[in-house]
Structure 1
């Protein structure tokens, strides 16, 4: 178990990771010519375990449904997302990332992924398992407030 000083240092390191992630996201959005919220939307659509619609996307981004509709219109027009009717509910629109956007995002992330791969390769199996468990716990902790509003 980490002592109080080490726990504080780890907390500060997590904060630095989060800040660096935001900085990277802003730089990446500029690089591919979209707004940060647009990039976040593309990321949510790609990362979703099952297809999502505009209302779901709005909830994930913390924006109003009308704002999400404008955002989706912009991303469809730019060739980053497609819309299609939900086969089970024709009134519902499903969103998907285009191959073009997927390639563009992967190319933009390639240098970072290469650096992370190099860092990860230096870990032994026990270290990798510890880091993975720690990161999963951090993700769970970060999602908890949104899972339980109040």
Structure 2
């Protein structure tokens, strides 16, 4: 990294091959804490925020968001999904429209209020990230992108096996 990159706060992992893996675990922990603060700020439960994020991701990918997609992503029943989605509708974060492909099903859409509430928080977060990486050279940026893309691909393709240790002290469920 170039000298103009701002120093990172907190504990940095050792600069060893395992230090990179440890840094990913620290990133996961920071993301979990960020999600908790976001839930508190929006006054939502974990599954409610998770549902909004699933819908946002599908929309970003140009895909339709349906209740079944939320159920599968959150790992909850269709009944629990109905309660979650109903609460988001009452809060003004979600609308449903008829699915033009079959006329029976409903498509889910985040409201402008939900998009604004989440994007306001994300904008502040992204500004901080932009500042943090602004000192990277083009070569360093490419290396980071390649690494993060490979990690993402590995996570997308990995299958968890019962009782397989994925990190010292943690067991895959």
* TM-score (norm: length of structure 2): 0.78
| Counterpart mapping for 1:32-111 below 5 A | 32-48=42-58, 49=61, 50-111=63-124
The equivalent of 1:127 in structure 2 is: 140
Unaligned runs of 5+ in 2: 1-14, 163-173
Number of residue pairs matched by the alignment: 145
Indicate the SS of the match to 2:107: strand
Alpha-carbon RMSD: 1.8
Please give the alpha-carbon distance, in whole angstroms, between the structure 2 residues aligned to 1:7 and 1:75: 44
Please give the alpha-carbon distance, in whole angstroms, between the structure 2 residues aligned to 1:138 and 1:120: 19
**Whose RCO is larger (CA < 8 A, sep 6+)?**
2
* TM-score (norm: length of structure 1): 0.89
- Larger fraction in helix: 1
Runs of 4+ in 1 over 2 A off after TM superposition: none
Q: Which of the pair has more CA radius of gyration? A: 2
Indicate the SS of the match to 2:95: strand
Tell me which of 18, 31, 54 is aligned to 1:21. 31
